[in-house]
Amino acid sequence: MWLFDGGTMDSSVRGEVAAEFSQIYLCVGEDGKVFIPWGSPLGLVRENDIGQVLLTTLRQVGTVSVEAQAFASMPAFDPTWSNVVEFSITAGASASIDPWDPGATGFSIPMTPGIAYRVRFVVIDGETGSQQFRDDPQALPSELYLIQFWPQPASSAVVLKNESPWAQLWVYGALAGTIIPTLSDVPAPDRAAALIDLVFEAHPDTARRLRDGDERYLPGIIAYLKQLKVQTYHDPDFSYLRDDQHALELLVAQRLASK
């Protein structure tokens, strides 16, 4: 069990749920509330239109293990974690972890209705699990989806750590929608290069790893360019992003070489 100094754990429950389309759900229960503004660039979590919190799994499909831990106060943050998001909810009746398929079975979690909770979503051993899923999708998952929660007034949702390549693909894709509009005044021929430069400034560790030859981190950077491609789909000045399947990778390589 993953438990660290910094908070007394009151209870813990563990179960398995079926993920599909890389999704499982935290259902806050009837009359509960989720404090995640629509469009928040969190990547691994978001609220859907029926008051559930969508939790991203690294597996597109398959049964995953989830552990929910209740604390009396904020537990310590384990520095070995690679991917962590926190957000706030008010629990309703019968909070639960649910599969993507509403007809499948989830499991209840020990939240008190009417209490505001801070929720920490951690994917443990996510990069190992991602590689495992690519190599053998039928293998027993090696990763764990950890949910810690404790009473605390509602505050802003935040990405606390985002280091694994598989997770960066999701988080950077969400962040792209906030960064690309800031470049609207950059002439079309230069906008993609300016975006890459801005992304490297925002994520220096990712840029360093790419310079060191670790291509696992390339998809996260490409996620920004794919969003630019979507937003400029009908603009002929950006046709080169659409017509050449290798254009995005070449742009990243050119900007890396220019630094």
Between 164 and 140, whose confidence is greater?
A: 164
Same domain, 108 and 215: no
Note whether 161 and 81 are within 8 A (CB).
yes
Residue 155, in any domain of the structure: yes
Range of the domain at 79: 9-162
Q: What pLDDT shows up at residue 234? A: 86
Residue 3, in any domain of the structure: no
Residue 1, in any domain of the structure: no
Measured from the Cβ of residue 158, the count of other Cβ atoms closer than 10 Å reads: 11
Same domain, 153 and 117: yes
Note whether 96 and 107 are within 8 A (CB).
yes
| pLDDT (mean) for 210-220 | 92
Q: What is the phi/psi pair of residue 100, to 5°?
A: -65, -40
Same domain, 175 and 216: yes
Same domain, 115 and 230: no
Q: What pLDDT shows up at residue 4? A: 38
Query: CA–CA separation, 15 vs 104, rounded Å?
Result: 13
Residue 109, in any domain of the structure: yes
Boundary (domain end) residue, out of 162, 194, 227: 162
Residues 6 or more apart from 85 whose CB is under 8 A from it?
Answer: 42, 43, 44, 45, 120, 121, 157, 158, 159, 160
* pLDDT digit string, tens, across residues 8-49: 668 899 999 999 999 999 999 999 999 998 888 899 999 987
Boundary (domain end) residue, out of 106, 134, 162: 162
Residues 6 or more apart from 183 whose CB is under 8 A from it?
Answer: 191, 194, 195, 198
